[in-house]
Amino acid sequence: MNLKAGVVSAGSWGTALAALLAGKNYDVNIWAREKDIIRSINEENENKVFLPGIKLPENLKATDDISEAVHSKDLVVIATPAQHLRESLRQIAFLVSPGTYIVLASKGIEKGTLKTMYQVAQEMLPPVLHKNIFVISGPTFARELAQKVPTCAVVAGHSSDDMGSVQSLFNTDYMRIYRSVDVIGVELGGALKNIYAIAVGILEGLELGKNAQAALITRSIAEMSRLVISMGGNPMTISGLSGIGDLVLTCTGDLSRNRQVGIRLGKGEKIDDILKSMIMVAEGVPTTASAYDLSKKSGVEMPIVETLYGLIYENADIDSSIKKLMSRSLKDELETYGGN
């Protein structure tokens, strides 16, 4: 019997993961709200809204019935926008079988609660499912993954007995999967990099050169490491795929929605106008607010996050904000990776 998988959310990332699984001859159902997406996947083997021009496997079937997508499956992947994860979990909490692996592909920090996606899942799912929860992260543009170009990612979880099994479920000849027990480090790396991609985009929009962009990316690693340490994670994780890997991709790649938001901000557009014009979610915008609140709560100094928060949420002046950031007190570089 073929492995049965369900994917919640037919955005670009969810569709790419569903296509990967279906390409391994798994029976895959993907849940979507939009009738036009369901029709195009089922009738034309293409998600014309989020992955136009990419042919999807014929054994990938879309449905608007979330129960059909997740009930009696061996694997359920949840790829909803981070701020919608709680509602998605509420809908499936008692539809998922006890032995089902649940893999969270959403990247972000929940606004208000300041919980990671794994923590939200632990809160919303029955205790019998907790050992089955995993996260997947890394430098993975959905379109490139769907085009089957060489890609690497990492799966993290606390159940070492099942880690290898989950790792194997996603591994292919074009998608190499690593594993990690540092769930908090992997999650924070995947969430925070979206913030810094907006910041790098602003520098690009302002035409401030590559020196500034390289410096910002490097100092972002220090901020990420400090927050990971404060939350009990391993700072070495930030040197891996979900940290530097995802950070570099999202800060430099043309397919990065968050970088594009930053470029437009740097050119003088207003954040509300930018977001209204976008089909897909730029996770870095809400994550900036969550990370700002989390840094204040944990006492971790994150000046880049604080600066971007001011620009997005307090209408701060860009030039003055950059000058303030550049005039901070002088410090030892390496000490700032573990301190402030």
Rounded Cα distance between 139 and 118, Å, is 19
Q: Provide the token pair at 257.
A: 């929605």
Residue 152, SS3 per DSSP: strand
Q: Are 301 and 340 in contact (CB under 8 A)?
A: yes
Rounded Cα distance between 59 and 80, Å, is 22
Q: Provide the token pair at 146.
A: 């769907």
Residue 179 — left, alpha, or beta (φ > 0 → left; ψ -120 to 50 → alpha)?
beta
Residues β-bridged to residue 76: 6, 102
Strand 27-31 to 151-157 pairing: unpaired
Q: Provide the token pair at 329.
A: 């007190």
Burial 8-22 (b: 16+ CB within 10 A, else e): bbbbbbbbbbbbbbb
Rounded Cα distance between 303 and 295, Å, is 10
Sign of CA dihedral 312, 316, 320, 326: negative
**Catalytic sites, residue numbers:** 193
Residue 44 — left, alpha, or beta (φ > 0 → left; ψ -120 to 50 → alpha)?
alpha
Write the CB contacts of 217 (distance below 8 Å, at least 6 apart in sequence): 196, 200, 247, 248, 251
Tell which residue, 261, 254, 320, has the closest CA to residue 286. 261
Q: Are 321 and 310 in contact (CB under 8 A)?
A: yes
